[in-house]
Structure 1
């Protein structure tokens, strides 16, 4: 199964969330840069940070394999440093649908902030309630048959500023979400079997702490410019 990919466009993503039942007091906001001065102008409070990064470029397969090995080593080091513990309260779901990473990043952002987001009655609230006690894999499988969410995604995917590619077109970008949960910064990626624990954070420092991880992504390829960062934050 494949979807038309969602564009990293705050207006499109915000409309998508509002159609799902997220109150209009919350919006997706551009993060124009990762320097402290630019982070300071993002409206507060901030509930989640979403990074879109390129997964394929001009690098050789050998270079990409080395990067993958380095990522795995970094994750092992985090576990050894005591950063591998994952809170049971983190909502994480598998991406079993091609090109669904944008929607899954948004669902991760909302599902892990239900103490702040009072969802309106509707299909997203029902989906999250029904999948609360399920496994990572079962949640992903449920999304494959969540027709109301699928229809909303497809409608939103056609609303971007660029022409939406077809479902069968290979996409070279990927969305991940960063959330605060129980005093910890988690990176949520539907392609990985578990959340990644990035250490201590707080609601107030979430954006700055997530920005440090986003910079790590960017430093892997300093010549690559195709990164975007947005935040789920209070509407301006």
Structure 2
């Protein structure tokens, strides 16, 4: 059965987030602007940004050029970074959520079957990790593929699951003092330089602006943040 893609929709994403065992005090919210004044309205701490960008010719060309450069120059990748290679079509939204949650699991305080899956896959390669996450069923209590499909059907857009998605989700997270871009369609994570928990939101917003500037004529970008819920 072909899978539907997730929408960039905080309501759907939050249902998924909490099914992954994330406590309700954490939420996904829309980011309405990337300038300092806009970011000031977002409740901190922010643990991840999820960027939806067009799967365009410019997007793919830059990814190819970046891959070649990083292979030649090398980069710092923290050893315990949780990175998943996408092995199933149309699940990039789910993988962005996994990247956001798995790399902040202690801060989020996740519990339940998904935590068990993370522990089960933490020592695997990114390729094997992706295969197991989307084929493994923890007893009969949790199946990532089924949860994805159920929540993807709650979206408001009409899509054909047999056609490739025109957009792609990317997660940006802070780990061990570095800002990482985690994109399951790439060979490896991308280190965008130093950051801190306090400056992460502004630094990650700058990376989002770079993505947008490379496709300036396209308006199909959205940004969401994983953040503490407002009191």
Give the TM-score normalised by the residue count of structure 1. Answer: 0.89
Give the TM-score normalised by the residue count of structure 2. Answer: 0.91
Indicate which of 156, 165, 169 corresponds to 1:171. Answer: 165
Indicate which of 98, 110, 133 corresponds to 1:107. Answer: 98
1:131 and 1:113 mapped to 2: Cα distance?
16
Indicate which of 75, 80, 85 corresponds to 2:76. Answer: 85
Give yes or no for the alignment of 1:205 onto 2:196.
Answer: no
2:202 and 2:109 mapped to 1: Cα distance?
25
How far off is 1:120 after superposition? 2.0
Deviations 1:45-77 (A, max 9, x none): 111000000113xxxxxxx3x764544444555
Give yes or no for the alignment of 1:19 onto 2:19.
Answer: yes
How far off is 1:201 after superposition? 0.5
SS at match of 2:51: strand
Give yes or no for the alignment of 1:190 onto 2:184.
Answer: yes
Deviations 1:153-184 (A, max 9, x none): 11111112323x23212210000000000000
SS at match of 2:101: helix
SS at match of 2:11: helix
1:120 and 1:162 mapped to 2: Cα distance?
32
SS at match of 1:115: helix
Give yes or no for the alignment of 1:157 onto 2:152.
Answer: yes
Q: Which residue of 2 aligns with 1:59?
A: none
1:71 and 1:155 mapped to 2: Cα distance?
31
Quote the RMSD (CA, aligned, Å): 1.9
Q: Structure 2 unaligned runs (5+)?
A: 138-142
Q: Which residue of 2 aligns with 1:39?
A: 39
Deviations 1:111-168 (A, max 9, x none): 000120111222x1111010011111110110231351111111111112323x2321
Q: Which residue of 2 aligns with 1:146?
A: 136
The 10-residue stretch of structure 1 (189-198 or 165-174) with the greater mean CA deviation from structure 2 = 165-174
2:62 and 2:86 mapped to 1: Cα distance?
23
Rate the CA distance shift 1:132–1:67 in 2: closer, same or farther, 3 A: closer
Structure 1 segments of 4+ aligned residues over 3 angstroms from their partners? 66-82
Q: Structure 1 unaligned runs (5+)?
A: 57-63
